[in-house]
Structure 1
């Protein structure tokens, strides 16, 4: 591999072409966007995954839940996410993101809190539905904001740090539940798993309130608390040079023309299929690791949650490696191939199942390589869609909504709770999708390269037209080349 990519050494945060003013702006954006996105996703995933930890910590026994009721709770959240994402395809470009994202976070925190008092299956189903509904815009909204401020060659690392929130959420959810079971069981007459819902909801409220002030919105509808007009102009110029939103700089309106433009393009269908393979290659949401540890029958509830935190803990390193190497070393295709080659090894071991126990620990503790490349995929999608922000908003939501809708019922078929801890059908399904994703990545790369070649040709023709209209002499070729450099995006390794 090369020590340099995109005009910089692998350890350099900025491109050599970035001016001092641009570097100052990038640092400010990194401090405003990345930490909040990371912490928000951390809280988001704690609230999404805590039902698994509560289940093995006594919830199922205390309330006499049996059969497939755990997968029902997981499924209803995903159904709600599908419903909740649909309107945001229109709202992202229209509303201030520093109000939209933290506002929905407040609501999912309320329903997370209400779970502490639930005593029936119906109550949990209702609360899990509303948690999923209000969580719906967060993930896609963060990627929309990242793509609104950063160039293509800057997205992987920022997206990777954001995505650590998922692994940290899984890790700390288990540790919080372990601590609650060990130290708060019976306090105020509440079980340890009930205390977990109280604790994480309070954390959610704090993060949401901070978001109203910290989250910078988008260059079109910015939060000017920490960004001045000069910095906004620099940000808009950088995006124009990158071709971001070049075809549509007005606030978009939902129209038949927009929908026709989206659904007659290769992009939406290609990105939906690609993301579908990715979502269905991941077994983590179904709680197989925790259920297997509990099935061993030699650990307390606190120990089960503590041991179950090992996979997401190690997964933090996987996420960082995959996303940083995508920008600076392996390129996008190489990073995706590495992540899913490891996932194929993991899923193969779990399908075989009759292997030494140490091999099972190994298989469960490497499957976070799979989800580690999420920000590589979404960053690439942002790059593909960068020329029209209205189409980008709609397509990002569609490419996330369709896989969510399909995975909502996949668990009922291949990850039935009654079949735990050995999910042969489930792990086989994930294995097949991982293989398909690797193959389909080359299709995406081919189509992306064709798009970029057409874009470069359009820029070249546009520059020639400008030169002719201005009646510039041939000697001004240097100015023409300078104009081309101004609008030509930094090339990104794929």
Structure 2
């Protein structure tokens, strides 16, 4: 019995926008629509609150926290680094447990706990207390991004991921934007209410938003095909999903073992992906360091509320950038060109910020383009998801580990390149990001040609390796897929 393997779906003319593939059956389209209705909106909601709670520190800092807590040095960049450190260390357990604990339990539990620590920030009176809370928020936020991409890769085929991931990633811009608007509103309407500053009220509002979204996750995250959420999918849904994914080379069952760690870490493919991801993270650190907000504040012509309102310009544009990049990648550009396109626009803005002595409108333009650095994220991670579709255990491990290694690099690079005392003109910072953006374009094409060569090599050897064993008719046939030159997991064609 042969097993068809299709690694890609031929793209139609770019102007023929299609949500489904021509080869999707009526049942498959019903399933995709159902997963879309539950998974995609929740992913946006979850990422929205994640970035409300991650970026609200910057908004609070320019709205009075700096003065109220007596910060006069590099406390802001240190607090940002402690959040990153918590996020990096918090990902380590998820390298192994993501294939064991159902995602529909794991993500909501972490969401609720980071909401609790977001709330506790309203009561801080010292740097040390705030530092502890920021670390714990980072720890519990750690699983969300790789886990959601793991879920996407568990239900969608490779060419279907980027546009869903793009919609998911709009939550980042929306969360950063919302945090600014919440702080602007709190500064205007809640300053002094019950004797509390407006920035303290912001943390209470953020927690009230976060915790219910976490609870909702128990009921709407579909889990994976291997560990489904029965609140969302039924047996027929799972059967349809298994059939459509397996016939396109996806392997659905696998538990992380230490043997997979060795295989992954010794793979040149893995380190190519890691290098590209490190460059991606560092090409965009300027948007996380409050550089735009601090520059607006340095103009000394806006109130705290107005500073936060103007600071929403960049993340608002970032929502559009993300959708453009991800839909273009899925429908006509492909991942390598989409990443190049985003990085080129990011680099263009960074040129103005690096020069700095340009007319003020050029600096507004430079800050307005900085979210192009984020727009390519879902394209890149969708690419990785598709690349590792034949090994769920390696896919979960790789998605977490590349995120961990890449994000860990941003725990120390801002300390060196974006010390708060140098704001708003970060001479080292903007030039560093510019270099990373240009290097990212180079490594994207190295990754592209390496994988293309890998694929040609796999085809010349053998696309599908068959191993069949029958013992007096009672044993199932065992088939082993070889995708992209590697032997994948085992599928048993057992009628039961």
- Structure 1 and Structure 2 fold alike (TM over 0.5): yes
Which residue does the alignment assign to 2:3?
A: none
Query: Which of 60, 75, 88 does residue 54 from structure 1 map onto?
Result: 60
> Which of 271, 277, 280 is the aligned partner of 2:279?
277
- Is 1:286 the counterpart of 2:284? The answer is no
Which of 406, 421, 425 is the equivalent residue of 1:422? 425
Give the whole-Å Cα distance in 2 for the aligned partners of 1:185 and 1:327.
Answer: 46
Q: Quick one: distance in 2 between partners of 1:10 and 1:354?
A: 45
Deviations 1:5-43 (A, max 9, x none): 624754210111111110000000101111000110000
* SS of residue in 2 equivalent to 1:18: coil
- 1:277-316 superposed matches below 5 A: 277-282=279-284, 283-316=286-319
CA distance in 2, matches of 1:250, 1:289: 45
Q: 1:238 aligns with which of 244, 268, 273?
A: 244
Residues 7 and 15 in structure 1, CA contact (< 8 A), matched pair in contact too: no
1:350/1:360 contact within 8 Å kept: yes
Runs of 5+ unmatched residues, structure 2 = 1-8, 471-478, 485-496
Residue 323 of structure 1 corresponds to 326
1:46-80 CA-to-partner distances (Å, cap 9, x unmatched) read: 10010000000000111111110000110000011
Which structure features the higher share of helix residues? Answer: 1
Q: Indicate if the aligned counterparts of 1:242 and 1:487 stay in contact, CA closer than 8 A.
A: no
3-state DSSP class of the match of 1:299? Answer: coil
Matches within 5 A, 1:333-352: 333-352=336-355
Match of 1:105 in 2: 111
| Counterpart contact for 2:158–2:382, Cα < 8 Å | yes
Does 1:226 pair with 2:232? yes
C-alpha distance in 2, partners of 1:274/1:86?
A: 20
Maintained 8 Å contact 1:241/1:488? no
| Partner in structure 1 of residue 198 of structure 2 | 192
Q: Which stretches in structure 1 are left out of the alignment for 5+ residues?
A: 470-482, 490-494
SS at match of 1:242: coil
How far does the alpha carbon of each residue in 1:261-296 deviate from its partner, in whole angstroms, 9 at most, with x for none? 111112221111010000000011111000000000
Structure 1 residue 126: Cα displacement: 0.3
1:477 counterpart residue number: none
Look up the match of 1:372: 375
Cα distance between partner residues in 2 of 1:7 and 1:206: 41
After the TM superposition, which parts of structure 1 deviate over 6 Å for at least 4 consecutive aligned residues? 486-489
Match of 1:122 among 107, 123, 128: 128
SS of the equivalent of 2:320 reads helix
Distance 1:143 1:409, change over 3 A: same
Give the equivalent residue in structure 2 for 1:146.
152
Aligned to 1:476: none
Aligned match of 1:6: 11
For residue 96 of structure 1, the aligned residue among 95, 102, 112 is: 102
- Contact 1:240 1:487 (8 Å CA) reproduced: no
- Conserved in 1, the CA contact under 8 Å of 2:353 and 2:366? yes
Number of residue pairs the alignment of both structures matches: 465
1:387 paired to 2:390: yes
Q: Which has the higher mean CA deviation after the structures are superposed, 172-181 or 6-15?
A: 6-15
Distance 1:199 1:438, change over 3 A: same
Question: Distance in 2 between the 1:462 and 1:185 partners?
Answer: 68
User: 1:166 aligned to 166, 169, 172, which one?
Assistant: 172
Tell whether the 8 Å contact from 2:112 to 2:214 is kept in structure 1 after alignment.
yes
User: Per-residue CA shift, 1:160-196, capped at 9, x if unaligned?
Assistant: 0000000001111100100010011111111100000
Deviation at 1:369, TM superposition (A): 1.2
**Considering only aligned residues, what root-mean-square deviation do their CA atoms show, in Å?**
2.0
8 A Cα contact 2:149 2:382, kept in partner: yes
Q: TM-score, normalised by structure 1?
A: 0.91
Contact 2:465 2:482 in 1 (8 A): no
Instruction: Please give the alpha-carbon distance, in whole angstroms, between the structure 2 residues aligned to 1:377 and 1:119.
Output: 41
Question: In the alignment, what sits opposite 1:178?
Answer: 184
Q: In structure 1, how many angstroms separate the alpha carbons of the residues matched to 2:256 and 2:18?
A: 40
